[in-house]
Amino acid sequence: MYGLYVDENPPRLVAFGRVYEGSTTVHNIPLGNDQVKVGVEKVRDTDVRVPIPTKDVQLVGKILNTFLA
């Protein structure tokens, strides 16, 4: 399991998830060259903005049991 950190000083751990190696999309949106698909399994901080928001998901509290880049 991997930790998802937000870009703060120092970086803050906000969730845990699994990386899906070889995936090229998340919710039918192509991943960038420096992105990976992550399935979020545990959230630690619900009120933080996700690193790459979508129209449906802006806060970490909304990513449990879903995927994000």
Asked if residue 25 lies in contact with residue 49, where contact means CB atoms within 8 angstroms, the answer is: no
> What DSSP string describes 10-34?
S-EEEEEEEEETT--EETTEEPPTT
Q: Which domain holds residue 53?
A: 2-68
Task: Give the pLDDT confidence of 14-67 residue by residue, as tens digits.
Answer: 999 999 988 999 888 899 888 899 999 999 999 988 878 888 888 988 888 888
Q: Could you tell me which of 22, 4, 21, 26 has the C-alpha nearest to residue 13?
A: 4
Global pTM value: 0.76
- The alpha-carbon radius of gyration of the chain (Å, integer) is 11
Q: How many domains does the chain have?
A: 1
Q: Could you tell me which of 40, 39, 66, 35 has the C-alpha nearest to residue 52?
A: 35
